[in-house]
Amino acid sequence: MSLATSALSASLRSRARIVAIPLSRPTRLGNAPSASAGPSGLTYYQFQLATKSKLKAKAPATNGEKESKSWLPEEGLSSWVQNKAASTWASFGKAEGGWKLKTFQAGERMVDRMDFEELALKSIDPSLGPSIKHPASNELDSDRREKDAQERIQIPLHYPPSVLTPELAVAELRKYVEHRIPVHRKGFYTWLIIAPLTAPFMIIPIIPNLPFFFCVWRSWSHYQAYQSSQYLKTLLDTNAIVPESSEVLDAIYRQFDPSRSSAPPKPQGLPRSTPITSSSSSTEPPSQGLLLTKTAVPAIVEKFELGTNATADLYRAVEQARVRNGGEKLT
């Protein structure tokens, strides 16, 4: 590997990151979560792990290497199918009335009801993320171990230090992953079994078998989230994910703290030693209350340069967190 390629690989690895955006305060602050429990708080994770596609696009072909010709798409069959489905779905949204537009609107409402955790996980493509090397047992020379240590992948897990500690940030991510693995494995098989039962809808002329495509889509979505969960677990087991406090993210939490807008103004003229009465403290949010509202989303998007899809997923996550914490559903 040339020096330029090595530098490019290191640069791409440094861009890989995970941003933990807690939506509700974790309840387990003093000890590690139990093995049977899920995450103690609601957290939206922004995964930015794709690096290999950029490296492949930058790598020049050697003089003796010929471009391989194949009927398969250059980006891979799976990616081509997903891109084709996405473009077809987008065309439904541009239709002027008719069943296509109604199908698109109904589908978007279904996406809004999907768990934001699933949407975040399915955005990961493990084939494009950093790969984990498992050295052989006979590689005992110190030079080899030192080289492997230098090339070891380290993915920063950015978190707000006022909400999470380094240990809790990693523990919450681990419980998040371990909780989602069985959920998406079950969802994959469930929708895969239901799909053949929609065969009678094929007799309806003109309109495609939408129930069948819906079942296939849900099964594929769960499969993607399941694969991503297993990939993240591997990264955690190999200590590739390293907690890193983010003062930028912490400043956003301080600026858009919901308790500031909901708390009543402090009476003038009271000394600093005056205790707070129960009536004034009753307006404070509970420990499991929301930490962010939708007003904070634009600032997070700007500071962390999130894309359109990630922005929409973050809005969905904030809304779902509000509903899960007892808020009313918005129609």
The domain limits of the chain are 3-50+86-134+142-264+282-324
pLDDT in the model for residue 275: 44
* Cα R_g (the chain), whole angstroms: 24
Supply φ then ψ for residue 274, to 5 degrees. -65, 125
| Higher local confidence (pLDDT), 155 or 199 | 155
Q: Where do runs of H (alpha helix) occur along the chain?
A: 3-15, 52-58, 77-93, 98-113, 116-121, 142-151, 166-194, 210-237, 247-255, 258-262, 278-281, 297-304, 308-324
The single-letter code of the amino acid at 24 is S
- Residue 131 makes CB contacts below 8 A (sequence gap 6+) with 52, 153
Residues facing residue 20 across a β-bridge: 45
Residues facing residue 241 across a β-bridge: 155
pLDDT in the model for residue 88: 73
The answer to which of 16-20, 59-63, 220-224 has the lowest mean pLDDT is: 59-63
Residues facing residue 47 across a β-bridge: 18
pLDDT in the model for residue 129: 84
The pLDDT confidence band at residue 7, using thresholds 50, 70 and 90, is very low
Nearest CA among 321, 47, 39 for reference residue 172 = 39
Q: How far apart are CA 177 and CA 225, in angstroms?
A: 10
| Higher local confidence (pLDDT), 237 or 89 | 237
Instruction: Tell me the average pLDDT of the chain.
Output: 77
pLDDT in the model for residue 199: 80
The pLDDT confidence band at residue 145, using thresholds 50, 70 and 90, is low
- Residue 6 makes CB contacts below 8 A (sequence gap 6+) with none
The pLDDT tens digits for 19-64 are 999 999 887 654 544 544 668 889 999 999 876 654 444 445 555 5
The pLDDT confidence band at residue 142, using thresholds 50, 70 and 90, is low
Supply φ then ψ for residue 292, to 5 degrees. -140, 155
pLDDT in the model for residue 89: 65
The pLDDT confidence band at residue 286, using thresholds 50, 70 and 90, is very low
Can you give the length of the chain in residues?
331
Q: Reply yes or no on whether the pLDDT at 287 is more than 60.
A: no
pLDDT in the model for residue 243: 97
What DSSP state is assigned to residue 244?
E
Average pLDDT over residues 65-72: 54
| Higher local confidence (pLDDT), 290 or 259 | 290
- Residue 134 makes CB contacts below 8 A (sequence gap 6+) with none
Q: Reply yes or no on whether the pLDDT at 181 is more than 60.
A: yes
What DSSP state is assigned to residue 132?
P
pLDDT in the model for residue 157: 97
Q: Reply yes or no on whether the pLDDT at 285 is more than 50.
A: no
pLDDT in the model for residue 219: 96
Q: Reply yes or no on whether the pLDDT at 158 is more than 90.
A: yes
The answer to which of 8-12, 298-302, 315-319 has the lowest mean pLDDT is: 8-12
The pLDDT tens digits for 259-271 are 776 544 444 544 4
Average pLDDT over residues 79-92: 68
